[in-house]
A and B are shown apart, each in its own frame.
Chain A
């Protein structure tokens, strides 16, 4: 699965997992390198809710180092996609 394909799935998953989907709608079209916290409320509750949904959807277990790397400097779609690909043992592009 390419990074772009993972990003596409993430956009849908984040909006679906958000408590207020309308407030998360901007994620559907935001750049992949922009911190999610700048386009939608991405509090700890929402962030970890997304991680739980990501684990279910992609069949992975997100480790603490992986999460630290993805969240360092603000979680972006790109960083989350790369985290998912690495945890699935896939090449990142």
Chain B
């Protein structure tokens, strides 16, 4: 599994870089302003990740699953995408055997997240709220769960260096974490069941 976190401005936001089907999807979504720009750059970032990390594969396009998660069509791989204002992270694993997830969360959310965690989870704040949240979001993405799954959740989260372990939200899972001055990125994978 590979992960890239970068400034969204490092990816072109040119509509013409989208495939025809992606452009159709964008039109149907009726996104406006910054959301439209983020969406275009996100699609380009995913296809660039496929081109860099699976260079022998053929052309692909990105489709949105009903859950909102991106799905690569035309190349056998799993992807996950996260963005928060000017930052984004994309994760890719070859094949379809793994469910993967990545979450990038800015540190500007620290106080907001502490309140959210205290309000919506049974165990409240257990470690750095940004790391805790990114880990929970990563698990939700891997398992295709919505945010309502967090309400009343009894997840137990512990950090050991670059590893974050999550128990109590389905099967135990160990994730990777990287801290940056402006944001945190957490990612992980597990076998599809």
Contact = CB atoms under 8 A, between A and B. Distances in A.
A48 interface: yes
B112 A71 contact: no
Nearest to B86: A20
A40 B35 CA distance: 6
Interface stretch (B13-21, B26-34, B170-178): B26-34
Contacts of B146: 68, 71
A6 interface: no
Interface residues of A, number: 22
B105 A45 contact: yes
A39 B151 contact: no
Given A26-B33, A41-B38, A67-B148, A19 B108 contact: yes
Contacts of A47: 147
Contact of A45 (B30, B31, B38, B113): B113
Interface stretch (B45-53, B69-77, B115-123, B154-162): B115-123
Q: Is the interface of A mostly helix, strand, loop or mixed?
A: helix
A19 B109 contact: yes
Contacts of A48: 116, 119-120, 147, 150
Q: Could you say which interface size class chain B belongs to?
A: 20 to 34
Interface string A1-25: 0000000000000000001100100
Contact of B116 (A38, A39, A52): A52
A73 to B, nearest CB: 10
Nearest to B109: A45
Interface string B132-146: 010001001000001
B85 interface: yes
A64 B34 CA distance: 30
Contacts of A26: 32-33
A40 B151 CA distance: 24
Contacts of A60: none
B62 to A, nearest CB: 18
Contact of B30 (A38, A55, A67): A38
Nearest to A38: B31
A48 B120 CA distance: 9
A44 B133 CA distance: 10
Interface of B: 29-35, 38, 84-85, 105-106, 108-109, 112-113, 115-116, 119-120, 133, 137, 140, 146-148, 150-152
11 contacts: A26-B33, A34-B30, A38-B30, A39-B35, A44-B147, A45-B133, A48-B116, A48-B150, A49-B115, A68-B148, A71-B147
